[in-house]
Structure formats: C-alpha cells, structure tokens
Amino acid sequence: MRMINLGRNRKPLIEKSSVLMFRLDNKTIFALCDKFKIDYDLESEVLSDTTKKALIGEIKNNLENFIK
C-alpha cells in the first residue's frame, strides 16, 4: 500500500484487469479446439492468431460462467 499520494489518483485494484499466463501443450489445445468447435490446422508450423483468439475467448467465457 502506498503511503504517499503523488500524481494522479489510482483506480482500486478491483476495477482493473490483470494478465494471467499459462502454458498448454498442443495436444490439450487441440482437444479444447475440438470441444469448442474451433477450426485449426494440424499441418501448420504454428498455431494461428485466429485460433488462439477464439480459444482464449471460449476459455474466458467459460471461466466467467463458472464463477457466476
């Protein structure tokens, strides 16, 4: 907790967002894509940004529904 107030007022932590990062193996990622019906290319060298964004959106929605 800050003892000295210098500069602008800060928002409370509850009003902010934070980044959580974790690593998943591709086998798990592909299983999640299958479960959420997200298209992916098994022959590509890297996971496409479109696939990543769709998967992140589904995971986020499921977590939000889980805590309700």
- Does 48 have pLDDT greater than 60? yes
More confident residue, 51 or 5: 51
Q: Given pLDDT bands bounded at 50, 70 and 90, which one contains residue 7?
A: confident
- Checking if the pLDDT of 4 tops 80, the result is no
Q: Helices 49-67 and 26-36 sit at what angle, rounded to 10 degrees? A: 70
- Which tokens hold the place of 7? 């500069």
pLDDT value, residue 25: 95
What are the residues whose beta carbons fall under 8 Å from the beta carbon of 24, sequence distance 6 or more? 32
- Give this prediction's pTM: 0.76
Query: Is 38 in a helix, a strand, or coil?
Result: coil
Angle at alpha carbon of residue 30, lines to 29 and 35, rounded to 5°: 95
